[in-house]
Copies of this chain bind each other. A is one copy, B any other.
Amino acid sequence: MATEHTGADGAVRKWHEECGIFGIYAPGKDVARLTYYGLFALQHRGQESAGIAVADGRHIAVHKGMGLVAEVFNQENLQSLAGEVAIGHVRYSTTGASSLVNAQPLVFRYRRGMVAIAHNGNLTNATKLRHELGASGSIFQSSTDSEVIVNLIARYSQEHVEDALRRCQDKMEGAYSLVVMTEDKLLGVRDPFGVRPLCLGQMDGALILASESCALDTLGVEFIRDIEPGEIVVIDGQGVRSLQGRRAAHSAHCIFEYVYFARPDSTLDGETVNLVRRELGRNLAREHRVAADLVTPVPDSGIAAAAGYAEVAGLPFIEGLMKNRYVGRTFIQPTQEMRDLGVRLKLNPIKAILKDKRVVIIDDSIVRGTTSRRIVEMLRQAGVREVHLLVASPPVLHPCYYGIDTSARGELIAAQYNLADIRRHVGADSLHYLSHEGLFSSVARGAENFCAACFTGRYPIPIPAPEEATKYSLGGR
């Protein structure tokens, strides 16, 4: 695999992650601080910006900024956010410097009062909706889908916000998990296919919504259940009410969440990420047994699969590539002359372990292949005798339109070259991907419940025509 992008988190990353959302209804508690900790647990889902909005029954206040949760918030601004309900958001990293305008939650005043919204996902018909709304006088400050959604809510503002949200579901196409807040109420919404995750927890009187269960664990909150595809939950003084909105015949949970995105300790829609990854490694071993001396992961996302592989293959699991935990923090890039430093700053092969060995190296996926190539090269320099690159997922052939800032199809190495060519490109002695069967047999629920379009090209939700995609965008910032 990978390292196509290095985010602010020091992680060796592949695709831009999406977003993380969090909501809490807890009169009497310090909701801003709890949201802060919740976002902290979801930080891996986005490092570009962070924000918290708080409602106190009459007003909604918000603070947001560029950077990590711990950089955006301090004692002082957290204290200034007093209230009974809160929502929060972390957003993925982009190159644009000044996209504070896109940071969430967005807070608006409309006919019925104030509303705040935080969104994870991507509307496939956002361009069309912007166009329609603009024609009747709507204006837009950001390029976020959230602003489109709030405008839709305002259009349906004759009705209560939950009913307006149900009306919105009829207009919106694509993937969305939302937390919405009025002056005194918290709502959670999931798209008809349940592409992006959203779950519900509780803790002595408080009710919490979060992208991943790890945020509940961090707060010591009891997991109640996942929000259903198409469901709208309304949380207020009366507790939780559920409205079932549009629901598709099948779920289409994003399988890449398990392969790479989500935190290993999260359980999403019934599947624990770390266990899925270990099973991916086990299945990989069942499909591709290689004569080797040891199994080593590309850290961190390949660790569970490598341990699973080692177990089934009966080979020793050993960390032969060391990751620098501080890597994400460097903003000073090596010069051209020092370009080899790029990957060495992040990963260092341990020669004493690897020299003269036949090594199975396990990565979770390969997107563009650039990093895989550099890793193999580094292993060769460390004196590895044979490098066998095994990938714990199938080839990535198709871009994602449901909330992941993936590369264009032309950049996906597996969409351009065949297996032999890729092997030659990365320089491995052998290269093996997991099969589609191996992928789907690693999750408990049937393949029909997942969106695996990036692997299979079967898009559960219609994707926008290419010319649509740029027609109405707000531009570069």
Residues of B within 8 A of A324 (CB): 40-41, 43, 218
User: In the complex the two chains form, is A322's CB within 8 Å of B274's CB?
Assistant: yes
Report A312-368 residues with CB < 8 Å from chain B CB. 316-319, 322, 324-327, 329-332, 334-335, 338, 340-341, 344-345, 348-353
Minimum CB–CB distance from A55 to chain B (whole Å) comes to 11
Contact partner, A322, options B70, B214, B219, B350, Cβ 8 Å: B214
Interface segment out of the listed A231-239, A240-248, A259-267, A404-412: A259-267
User: In the complex the two chains form, is A59's CB within 8 Å of B476's CB?
Assistant: yes
User: In the complex the two chains form, is A332's CB within 8 Å of B78's CB?
Assistant: yes
Residues of B within 8 A of A34 (CB): 338
**A255 within 8 A of partner (CB):** no
Report the bound CA distance from A154 to B139 in whole Å. Answer: 7
Residues of B within 8 A of A37 (CB): 334, 338, 341, 345
Interface size class of A (residues with CB under 8 A): 35 or more
Report the bound CA distance from A98 to B107 in whole Å. Answer: 14
**A275 within 8 A of partner (CB):** yes
**A10 within 8 A of partner (CB):** yes
Residues of B within 8 A of A316 (CB): 307, 311
- How does the 8 Å CB contact mask read for A146-177 relative to B, with 1 for contact and 0 for none? 00001100110100000000000000000000
Residues of B within 8 A of A322 (CB): 214, 263-265, 274
User: In the complex the two chains form, is B33's CB within 8 Å of A338's CB?
Assistant: yes
User: In the complex the two chains form, is B40's CB within 8 Å of A217's CB?
Assistant: no
- How does the 8 Å CB contact mask read for A57-73 relative to B, with 1 for contact and 0 for none? 01101110000111101
Report the bound CA distance from A274 to B349 in whole Å. Answer: 11
Nearest-CB residue, chain B, relative to A350? B265
Contact partner, A220, options B139, B327, B341, B351, Cβ 8 Å: B341
Minimum CB–CB distance from A430 to chain B (whole Å) comes to 24
Report A208-254 residues with CB < 8 Å from chain B CB. 214, 217-220
User: In the complex the two chains form, is B264's CB within 8 Å of A68's CB?
Assistant: no
A71-B329, A322-B214, A348-B214 are known contacts. Are A219 and B341 too (CB-CB below 8 A)?
A: yes
| Residue with the highest number of chain B CB atoms closer than 10 Å, among A80, A138, A263, A307 | A138
User: In the complex the two chains form, is A274's CB within 8 Å of B319's CB?
Assistant: yes
Nearest-CB residue, chain B, relative to A47? B326
Interface segment out of the listed A129-137, A420-428, A459-467: A129-137
Report the bound CA distance from A316 to B341 in whole Å. Answer: 36
Residues of B within 8 A of A352 (CB): 267, 272, 274-275
Nearest-CB residue, chain B, relative to A152? B137
Contact partner, A348, options B68, B150, B218, Cβ 8 Å: B218
Residues of B within 8 A of A43 (CB): 324-326
Minimum CB–CB distance from A378 to chain B (whole Å) comes to 10
User: In the complex the two chains form, is B138's CB within 8 Å of A141's CB?
Assistant: no
Report A111-146 residues with CB < 8 Å from chain B CB. 111, 114, 134-141
Report the bound CA distance from A351 to B220 in whole Å. Answer: 13
Q: List 22 A-B contacts (CB under 8 A).
A: A33-B332, A41-B324, A44-B326, A61-B477, A70-B326, A70-B330, A74-B332, A78-B332, A109-B474, A110-B140, A134-B157, A218-B345, A218-B348, A219-B344, A220-B340, A264-B350, A265-B322, A265-B348, A265-B349, A267-B352, A304-B318, A307-B316
Besides the known contacts A40-B330, A108-B141, 12 further A-B residue pairs in the complex with CB atoms under 8 A apart: A41-B345, A44-B326, A63-B98, A68-B326, A73-B332, A74-B331, A74-B332, A137-B157, A138-B138, A220-B340, A220-B341, A275-B352
The 6 closest A-B pairs by CB, nearest first: A265-B322, A70-B329, A272-B352, A111-B134, A108-B139, A43-B326
Show the binding face of A for B, using Cβ within 8 Å: 9-11, 30, 33-34, 36-37, 40-41, 43-44, 58-59, 61-63, 68-71, 73-75, 77-78, 80, 97-98, 106-111, 114, 134-141, 150-151, 154-155, 157, 214, 217-220, 263-265, 267, 272, 274-275, 278, 300, 303-304, 307, 310-311, 316-319, 322, 324-327, 329-332, 334-335, 338, 340-341, 344-345, 348-353, 474-477
